Structure 1
Amino acid sequence: MFQYFGDNYTWNLAVNLALGMGAQIGEIEDSSGSVKEASLRKDPHAAEILFAAWSGLAARLETLARQDLQRDRRLSAGQKFKRAAIYYVQAERMQSPHFADRKKAFESMLECFRQYVKLTHQPVEFVEVPYKDTILPALYVPAVGVERGGAPCMVHFDGLDVTKEILYLVGMGSALRERGVSVLLVDNPGVGEALRSKGLTNFPEAEVPAAACIEYLEGRDDVDASRIGIMALSLGGFHAPRAAAFEPRLRCCVAWGANYDWGATQRYRYESKDQSLPVPHYWDHVMWVFGESSIEGMLATADRMTLEGVLHRVRCPILVTHGENDRQITLAQAERLVAECVNSSKAELFVHRLEEGGAEHCSVDNIHIGIDTIADWVQETMTELKHGMHQ
């Protein structure tokens, strides 16, 4: 993994993810070079210095984009809005839930992302999935060349701290679209707009929001309702297999990074003071995500997030991808997840090795290798389903 901030894993993760979305290393260096000292402190509050640097960079790009618009340079403006969205979202996700400027940065990210989509003609439809008495915000990306009867579609949930915009910007939507598969990128409860705007917190029963997404897609005439699958990354490596186990309408499943026993992982992190964490202010963040007011309450909820005794219910094809050098979740969790899918018609594990790249958590060190692996498998599996396999 590119270690721009020395041995600070959490900050390096942010840089690698930003680059995977399309950030420019020169812009990162110009804005971040002076804050490297702060990264060495291992103080969660040092992330506020990074926030000032990256949100300042985003604001400058936003200004330049608006200057382009005044000269009717729409495509150039769109690309600057894209990079502004990247720096805003990365600055925001690194902060404490209580950080005063976090809300404004998130709203700026949403606006810049919308401008990017509009000005560069991205194939994105902003949709709302009916859910209980509210909605789940989502992005619908249609497949290229939709045939009569509709295209297959993947429901894509987030992880612990990413958003639907991040998923789109890293290119998963485009990769699936170009392979004839539509995708619904969803801010499921506990992440993105679902958490920040709707107040929806996370919980173990992922089949509940998954069912809402299936029912939304069943109402679209451009979706083949007999070929709807689910995928998710990181913490979603629990949610996607859990949903597939309890929702038979899901015809395939991808865990982009395994998460067999999230509760055990959290207890290890808490007791060992592990520093390989996805965001600073980690324990404040997970309490916010799960709507808990104490570590004890959060850990009790996390204990329910295990796939033990569940995976025999998965009958559809399932792919688990995992990095050999994943410092957050052990490879053993991925191996156990696949081994216990004893009734799946096709249960496969793909391990990204160090010599090939993509070996870190969710392939953040070389994210496009990970995306290609998943998108190819989904395309092949959806074709098999079309021809009557995996019944």
Structure 2
Amino acid sequence: MIDYFPGQYWPNLLLCNTLASGVPVGDLDDGLRKAQAVLKAGSPPESPEFPAAAAEGLNAVADRLERMIAADLALGRSLSAGNKLLRQAAILDCLGWFMTDFYNPMKLTTFDRARAAFKKGLALSGAPHSRSEFFQIPFEGVMLDALFTPSETDGPSPVVIHLNGTHSQIEWQYFIGIAPQLAKRGIASIALDHPGSGSARYHLGLKYRPDPESYTIATINEVTRRSDIDAERIGVCGSSFGGIFALMATARIPRIKACVSWSPGYGFPTHRYFAHGRPSDPGPLATPYEEGRAKQQRWAYGAIDNQQLYDKMQSYSVQNDVPKINVPLLVVAGLNDPQTPAAHAERIVLEATGSPRAELLTIGPDIGGDLHCNVDNPATAVDAISDWFTDIFHTRPEGRA
């Protein structure tokens, strides 16, 4: 993995995530050089100086792109403007990742600016981007945002529903390349801001919930109204925490016919936040660092105190769901993933005894992309996932049967 921030796993992973989203390395270097200098001067990533420097630099790059976009539009260069809008959206997504405080109001402002740039960028940058369309899914009295990317083929096609992890939303699923690669292979896809992610998190106040089948079936019901979708060929693909959601949804929804779980854990890593088990009282944890991390998770889970947070985290084990999966399953892991170790993926495949085709793909440094969700070099994993769905659903590249 690129060691732009010497010895710092998490900032380097975010950098790789952004490069994988198509941001030119020059944009990133311009945006993060001051943050790099903060770390080299001895401040840790947890210091307020580090995210402040990242925010200053990345906002400056986004503002620079804003001026360039305006100049392109004034000259009628809509394709160039669209390309820069997508760059701007990815830069702002990166800024959102570096802003680790969910209580910071700038996180919402940054998300909204990125989403607006992404929508406009898709519309202006021409095919294939302009073929993707935002729509909404009715769910328990509210509307969830989703992005539909059609297959590059005529007639009803399979569809894959993407479920997000902790730090991903619609844009990541598109930028990382899954949606475009599936489309080339004759498969449509939906990237969804479900509870706990994206606009559902920021605008609807919907937190994580351990019944992903609820919003997944709502998505299935809505998308299968379309005449270009084959209701008998529905798959799910979840990344990171979304990999857990994908396993749960597949075990609980008979209409799902194939599942990819990408760098999943076997359950939420509660021990990272509560090293000594369930807290004896609901108050703050022992150290400011531990309490700061728990505070962010309380926001994400909608927990009122640390005891409730601990209890909520227990609801995300896949132990009772994996044996119930009775459709083809692919679990993808990075060999050296420190967040969700490959052993979790191995255990899931071993326990998927009801699946007629349970496969494990472990990617090591020999081919590149051996970390979490393979974001340090995602192309191999993206191709493998897309090819696997192609095989399961009997489509061919470019939609040729």
TM-score, length basis structure 1: 0.92
User: Where does residue 276 of structure 1 map in the other structure?
Assistant: none
1:3 aligns with 2:3: yes
Determine which of 129, 141, 151 is the counterpart of 2:149: 141
Which position in structure 2 is the counterpart of 1:67? 71
Equivalent residue number for residue 279 of structure 2: none
The residue type paired with residue 309 of structure 2 is M
- In the alignment, the residues of structure 2 paired with residue 358 and residue 56 of structure 1 have an alpha-carbon distance, to the nearest angstrom, of 30
1:383 aligns with 2:388: no
Instruction: Specify the alignment match of 1:222 in structure 2.
Output: 228
1:352-367 equivalences in 2 (<5 Å): 352-367=363-378
Structure 1 equivalent of residue 329 of structure 2: 318
Aligned match of 2:317: 306
Structure 2: how far apart are the matches of 1:286 and 1:378?
33
In the aligned structure 2, how far is the partner of 1:3 from the partner of 1:177? Answer: 33
Aligned pairs for 1:71-150 within 5 A = 71-95=75-99, 96-121=101-126, 122=129, 123-147=131-155, 150=156
* 1:74 positional shift: 1.1
Q: How many residues align?
A: 372
Matches within 5 A, 1:263-302: 265-271=269-275, 282-302=293-313
Q: Could you report, residue by residue, the CA deviation over 1:108-128 in whole angstroms, capped at 9, with x for unpaired residues?
A: 101111121011121211010
The one-letter code of the counterpart of 1:38 is: V
Write the deviation string for residues 236-263 of structure 1: whole angstroms up to 9, x where unpaired. 111001100011110000001122121x
Q: 1:86-119: CA deviations, max 9, x gaps?
A: 1111112322112132222111101111121011
Paired with 1:350 and 1:316, the residues of 2 have a C-alpha distance of 17
For 2:266, what is the secondary structure of its paired residue?
A: coil
Corresponding residue of 2:238:
232
1:101 alignment partner, SS class? helix
Aligned to 1:189: 195
How far residue 38 of structure 1 moved from its aligned partner, in angstroms, is 2.4
Q: Which residue of 2 aligns with 1:205?
A: 211
Q: CA deviation at 1:135?
A: 1.5
Shift in alpha-carbon separation, 1:59–1:215, aligned structure 2, 3 A? same
CA RMSD in angstroms comes to 1.5
Shift in Å at residue 284 of structure 1? 3.5
Match of 1:50 among 44, 51, 54: 54
Residue of structure 2 equivalent to 1:241: 247
1:293, CA displacement in angstroms?
Answer: 2.7
SS at match of 1:230: strand
TM-score normalised per structure 2: 0.90
Paired letter, 1:145 = T
Measure the CA separation in 1 of the matches of 2:355 and 2:184. 27
Q: Percent identity?
A: 28
Give the conservation status (yes or no) of the 8 Å contact 1:97–1:284: no
More displaced stretch, 322-331 vs 289-298? 289-298
- Which residue pairs with 1:389 in the alignment? none
Deviation by residue 1:206-259 (Cα, 9 ceiling, x = unmatched): 111111111112211111000011111000111001100011110000001122
CA contact (8 A) 2:163 2:243 kept: no
For 1:160, what is the secondary structure of its paired residue?
coil
Give the distance between the partners of 2:211 and 2:231, measured in 1 at CA: 22
1:318-375 per-position Cα deviation (integer Å, ceiling 9, x unaligned): 1000000101011111011011110111100000011111110000110111111100
Shifted more, 295-304 versus 159-168: the winner is 295-304
Task: Verify the 8 A CA contact 2:35 2:51 in the aligned structure 1.
Answer: no
Amino acid at match of 1:41: P
Q: Which amino acid is the alignment partner of residue 62 of structure 2?
A: A
- Cα distance in 1 between the residues matched to 2:353 and 2:365: 29
State the alpha-carbon separation in 2 of the partners of residues 47 and 32 from structure 1: 10
d(CA) in 2 for partners of 1:38, 1:311: 44
Give the aligned residue type for 2:68.
L
CA–CA distance in 1 between the matches of 2:379 and 2:70? 30
For 1:244 and 1:162, the matched residues in 2 are separated by: 20
1:54-109: CA deviation from partner (whole Å, max 9, x where unpaired): 12211211121111110111111111111111111111232211213222211110
In structure 2, distance between residues paired with 1:285 and 1:59: 28
152, 157, 167: which one aligns with 2:163: 157
d(CA) in 2 for partners of 1:282, 1:364: 23
Q: 1:341 to 1:176 in 2, by over 3 A?
A: same
Q: Equivalents in 1 of 2:23, 2:346: separation in Å? A: 33
Q: 1:25 to 1:270 in 2, by over 3 A?
A: farther
Give 3-state SS (helix, strand or coil) of 2:103's partner. Answer: coil
